[in-house]
Chains A and B, each alone.
Chain A
Amino acid sequence: MEKRLANWGNYPAIACDESTFSQDEQVQDFISSHSAVIARGNGRCYGDASLAQYSVSTLKYDKVLAFDTTNGVFECQSGITLDQILDIIVPKGWFLPVTPGTKFITVGGAVASDVHGKNHHVDGSFSGHIIEMDVITGNQDTVTCSAEKEPDLFWATCGGMGLTGIITRVKFGLKKIDTAYIRQKQIKAKNLEDLIRLFEEYKDYTYSMAWIDCLQKGDSFGRGILIVGEHATPGELNEQQRKAPLHLTAKRKLSMPFNLPSFTLNTLTVKAFNWLYYLKNTKREINNVIPYEPFFYPLDAILHWNRGYGKAGFVQYQFVLPLEKKEGLVAILKKISDAGLGSFLAVLKVFGKQDSLISFPMEGYTLALDFPVRKGLFEFLDQLDEIVLQYGGRLYLSKDARMKQEVFWQSYPNAQKFAEIIKKYNGKKLFRSVQSDRLLLTQ
């Protein structure tokens, strides 16, 4: 049935025919009679990566196939969400090796975006924990691949935005935990310099990220809060928490019932929000032990918060710059604060080393900002792209909805190699998305 589909940013929205499947053969049948097909998980990428004329929803392909509770190995179909996986593994003392800032994504989406978490500098991205996976390629067969087996397919699928085919099964390693809690430390930084110094001081923490108030000028330019954490040991829990260290009590969720009118999010409201957020922490440093959910997924407590940006939608701009190019970060933040283009969320994080074919992370600083779609925004972002290119950085495909093709080809050093592997497995351009056509990967 044709309907209008959009991903998390609500931009762009396109007419799309969405089908589901619950067996491999159904996918093979479907792709043999369609083209312009793309896999779609839970639509939590921000832009146009999982939009095409025909999208194949994996959400009903969600069975757990095996869980080795002794060695921490999990095997599942690609449409199960991280949320469901956590419900199964946490009570048994295991955790996801890598998780993004929302648990409402599918395993297939985690692989296709090769997602990173707050622990990238320690544990790398999701692909580093995959033991093997199955992909239905454009040749219509199911191919099992891993870093050793069919490595070209494997590396082009990790971070490959669904362009090699449909991932159907993933087997990956988990991380051992003793409690479902995180020992958290929040430290206020008075400006960007202070923040970066703190990042370096606390780099031994497994989890770290910072929130930046990017509308500040002068001495407070780039002020923010660094948040670091470790999985808590039983000894660090309070009496109440210690009763059932691996079990959390369920909480009710709030939901944004409809799109807010877009004028609610202007510079003034963003300023007020950031100011309150910063001042809410009255002490310079706060230490506490909290359940893992608010630590990893603070925004998930408000379902559909994306509707807060209004009907026109928003884009998230996430880039990474090489470690030694800190001045690029300053240049970009300056440009945003000068333009007065506010962002509710500006999240800063340091990536560790990563050499992979087409995945986003590289050793350096990554910043993610939200911008409501409005006149002039894309021209402004084109200017930011120039700075990113100038400093040798790149943009995250999973958040992108508007990058120009030359920016992609110039900033991803393996773009050509990636395109060749896609040709091998998806030669008939069966799998293509609005994004891949825009970036000239499948046109």
Chain B
Amino acid sequence: MPTVLILGAGSDMAVAIAREFAGNKYDIQLAARNKASLSPLEQDLRIRYGVESSTYAFDATDFNSHPAFYNALTVKPDITIAVFGYLGSQEKGQADWNEASRILHTNYTGAVSILNIVAEDYATRGTGTIVGISSVAGERGRQSNYLYGSAKAGFTAYLSGLRNRLFHKGVHVLSVQPGFVYTRMTENLKLPPLLTAQPQDVARDIYRAVKAKKNQIYTRWFWRYIMLIIKSIPEFMFKKLKL
């Protein structure tokens, strides 16, 4: 059976992605900071879907540990999905570098650090799929979350460069730009119900996009059009908006 590695497997989005792939008969490797907390999901995937699953400790911001983490995987994954992210607090981050650096390092540097390693392996093998979960927040900076947004913007650019390079080596890179999703990360925010997706919807979109070898998807699909409009507002007007 093919194997999927999920980096940042503790989140609601990751649980939905793991179940979507396991339901389609993929073995699942789960990695997150707190390895012990992953064991209920590990059992769940085995019992529900009859696939193999395993758990690993992985900390996105502990860059030095990344080579050893990847080398220790006895089965190298066919698909690697970077789901981890940290929304943090924009307001706190403006005044407190610890918060700002955590936002930047989790969403950008940490992602680059681990995916560089995965990319080298896939390039050598001439096969594999890398999926990066970025965000529509990375499409244009807004006063309410530009720390998070800028890190995701960097990640989006990284993924498109990686795609360009690895295309020539037979490796598929998919960038995913989710809009609002109901997760623990967002449950204290007021989200517009019509525009907000369930994690399962996002997971299904990702599975289909992997199968169809898509380059980039917005999920839900209408975010592509919403972002098109947001991106086309001239800067002199945009700066006056309170977004």
Contacts and interface: CB of A to CB of B under 8 A. Distances in A.
Interface of A: 1, 18-23, 60, 62-67, 77, 84, 87-88
B184 A67 contact: no
14 contacts: A1-B190, A1-B191, A18-B187, A20-B12, A20-B184, A20-B187, A22-B10, A62-B44, A63-B40, A63-B43, A64-B44, A64-B48, A65-B44, A66-B43
B41 interface: yes
A21 B15 CA distance: 13
Given A19-B187, A67-B47, 18 more contacts: A1-B189, A1-B190, A1-B191, A20-B12, A20-B184, A22-B12, A60-B12, A60-B15, A62-B44, A63-B40, A63-B43, A63-B44, A64-B44, A64-B47, A65-B44, A66-B47, A77-B40, A87-B48
Interface residues of B, number: 16
Given A1-B189, A60-B12, A77-B40, A22 B184 contact: yes
B65 to A, nearest CB: 23
B43 A65 contact: yes
Contacts of B24: none
Contact of B41 (A21, A63, A87): A63
B43 A60 contact: no
A1 B190 CA distance: 6
Consensus secondary structure, chain A interface? mixed
A88 B47 contact: yes
Contacts of A67: 47
A246 to B, nearest CB: 15
Contacts of A20: 12, 184, 187
B37 interface: yes
A223 B12 CA distance: 50
B184 A65 contact: no
Contacts of B184: 20-22, 60
Interface string B29-72: 00000000100110110011000000000000000000000000
A113 B44 CA distance: 25
A64 B15 CA distance: 13
A88 B41 CA distance: 15
Nearest to A88: B48
A60 B188 CA distance: 16
